[in-house]
Amino acid sequence: MTEIWTQEEIAALSEKFRIKDDVQMHDQAQNYHFPRLSFLKDGYSPPGGYVKDFGVIRHEGRLHVFHIDGRPGEHCLTTGNEISFGHISTTDLCHWIRHPMPLAVGDRPWESEHVWAPYVYRRDGLFYMFYMGKGQGQTFISYATSPDMEKWTRWKDGPITCAIGRDPFIFEDEDRIILVYTNRLGPHVSACASKDMLSWDSLPHILTVLDGKALESPSLHPLKNGYILWFNDFGKEWAPCRAAYAFSEDPFHFEAESIKEFEFQTDCPDAVPSPELRTTKLFPISIELIAHGKKNWLVSYFRWQGDRNRLFFGEIDWSSDPAIIREITDLKQLEKSLISCHFAL
């Protein structure tokens, strides 16, 4: 499984996505938009940057990833860091092309300092990029729209004032759109609902972790005869950081007692716990669903590798208790996972 672009393919992709192949400072410089690299084993990160919270969407034979783009060695709250998003896409989960920057901080006070956690959702032929903005002591979630995922227009009436939190995720419930997010005011996974993407109403908390400190990156999906909600829990001093999940027959109510921690497995010798977090355990962050089979689900996430956070793929094995996330580090593992998850772009 390889993707070596022909000049004809590069020309076609350059025209379609408004990117250029021939802008390089010298012959040995890495091609920015068409890197001739496979990122499967070592994880993907942009040149000089890192990947944090992200969203995925499949469109016209490509998997697109929108992610926080930051500078290694700097805190997420550092002025000038994490002020824009990266956009990449792939046809084989190994090789990527880099698209133009989709969105950066704006003029409105609540999104003037940082933008975080993009999540792209398609509705009635239009793409919606939900994201968190921060600025001047305010934190809200809003969205931008695009007909092609290349040029984005901010929702002029934003933000969604009932969504005071971070890490948006969209869940469809009959004729309602449910915005799931983690609450800035406490250890809750919260939600609000809309029928028209314009007017939003708060819903009761979906989950509360009483001994939690900060929850992040919620994701809600049907599983068997119920629903699975997974998230990252950055606990208090006596509670370790973890990638966790809970099961419920009601997608809008999960009991803290049902929470379990994913077991994470990787054979990568360079995988180490993040030095940015208070933990000695290696675990995946911002887990996003790519495809699901009967027992195994293909997912993506970021974790620390080398000197920064990078994007990786793994497979959730739901037949184990607790569920196991096994990292995919070679083509043989990837091909087996693609078959078991019935995944094709």
Give the pLDDT confidence of 284-298 residue by residue, as tens digits: 999 999 999 888 999
Residue 71: strand, helix, or coil = coil
pLDDT of residue 345: 73
Strand arrangement, sheet containing 188-194: 165-173, 176-183, 188-194, 201-208
pLDDT of residue 221: 97
pLDDT of residue 52: 97
pLDDT of residue 4: 67
pLDDT of residue 21: 72
Please work out, in degrees rounded to the nearest 5, the angle formed at the alpha carbon of residue 308 by the alpha carbons of 307 and 312: 120
Radius of gyration of the chain (CA): 19
Residue 334: strand, helix, or coil = helix
CA-CA-CA-CA torsion sign (221, 228, 188, 54): negative
pLDDT of residue 237: 57
Total residues found in the chain within this entry: 345
Answer whether 165's CB lies under 8 Å from 116's CB: no
pLDDT of residue 88: 98
Q: Which amino acid is at 281?
A: K
Q: b/e map of 120-149 (b: 16 or more CB within 10 Å)? A: bbeeeeebbbbbbbbbeeebbbbbbebeeb
Strand arrangement, sheet containing 324-327: 263-265, 324-327, 308-317, 296-305, 285-292
pLDDT of residue 86: 98
pTM of the model: 0.95
pLDDT of residue 102: 97
Q: Give one word for 43, left, alpha or beta, with left for phi > 0 and alpha for psi -120 to 50.
A: left
The DSSP bridge pattern shows strands 263-265 and 324-327 to be parallel
Intervals of the chain under pLDDT 50: 1, 238
pLDDT of residue 9: 86
Measured between alpha carbons, how far apart are the two ends of the chain, in Å? 14
How many whole angstroms separate alpha carbon 139 and alpha carbon 148? 28
